[in-house]
Amino acid sequence: MTSFDKTRFLGGKNLKAFLDEKVAAYNTPGFIKDDPISIPHQFSRLQDIEIMGFWVAMLAWGQRKTIINKANELIQLMDGQPYDFILNHQESDRQAFLNFKHRTFNTTDTLYFLDFFQRYYREFDSLETAFLRGLQPNDQDTKGALIAFHDFFFNHPNAPHRTRKHIATPARKSSCKRLNMFLRWMVRQDNCGVDFGLWRGIRPDQLMMPLDVHVERWARRLGLLNRQQRDWRAVEELTSQLRQFDPVDPVKYDFALFGLGVLERAGL
């Protein structure tokens, strides 16, 4: 990769054109195979997509190959039918999950996820309902939705305190990278075949950028992010900058910044 000349992108139009080009390059079906989004793409039923999309998104730290392998392990433990298993399994069936771990996500977390999903899907048809609890029609973003979801997820007397670290909330100033990524998958609508666009209660313009170390590095390099901490305020700053390029679908630029940071085909 050649040396980066930031002056090429001073004056938003050139930067927008550059980012749009990278979105077009990475927002394609070829992106799916090596990304955790490949896990929910194994399914066609809404609830299967939601369950495995949410779970793999919450496991999404570390090497992408390992994340995908661990998610496939979960699918096997659920007999290849996550929604049917969630609805109909007995407590004794959870024994098979006692050895499931991924980094700091351990048995306690796994069992609570199973418990939450079973209680939830026996009452509601779609996980979207849990996110809509805190979202108002005039909200500019999903901050309220994420806070309300976190509170709802742990609104149970047996909710383990340790599991809270796996479900972030803006109330604790977290960047909520994994939740924002999951919402991107479920909400964004285009014809490119990567994101699902199955949820209609949240608008694409309300979505917030998934801010990980790769996106952060390129956002700073391109002058899109100045805040030093990688927290919710940084997410707000970056998303606000990207809304200037596309106010209807700012989070499409996740493909550009993540692609530049991870796939290393910047061509600069």
Structure tokens at 137: 């029609």
Structure tokens at 13: 């139009």
Please state the rounded mean pLDDT for residues 250-257: 97
Within 10 A of 125 (CB to CB), how many other CB atoms are there?
10
Q: Do 34 and 265 touch, CB atoms closer than 8 A?
A: no
pLDDT of 205 above 50: yes
Q: Which residue has the tokens 């990207």?
A: 242
Q: pLDDT class for 3, splitting at 50, 70, 90?
A: very low
What pTM value is reported for the model?
A: 0.93
- Helix, strand, or coil (residue 33): coil
Measure the CA–CA gap between 120 and 138, rounded to whole angstroms: 27
Q: Do 243 and 205 touch, CB atoms closer than 8 A?
A: yes
Q: What percentage of residues in the chain have a pLDDT greater than 70?
A: 93
Could you say which DSSP state residue 247 is in?
S
- Residue 137 pLDDT: 85
**Domain map of the chain by residue range?**
1-31+174-268
194's CB contacts (< 8 A; 6+ apart) are 27, 28, 29, 31, 32, 37, 255
Measure the CA–CA gap between 237 and 112, rounded to whole angstroms: 34
Nearest residue to 211 (alpha-carbon basis) of 227, 195, 199: 227
Q: Which residue has the tokens 């992010």?
A: 225
Q: Do 173 and 150 touch, CB atoms closer than 8 A?
A: no
Mean per-residue pLDDT of the chain: 93
Please state the rounded mean pLDDT for residues 4-24: 74
The pLDDT tens digits of the residues spanning 30-66 come to 999 999 999 999 999 999 999 999 999 999 988 999 9
- Residue 13 pLDDT: 54
- Residue 165 pLDDT: 94
Phi, psi of 102 (to 5 degrees): -145, 110
Please state the rounded mean pLDDT for residues 132-152: 96
Q: Do 193 and 29 touch, CB atoms closer than 8 A?
A: yes
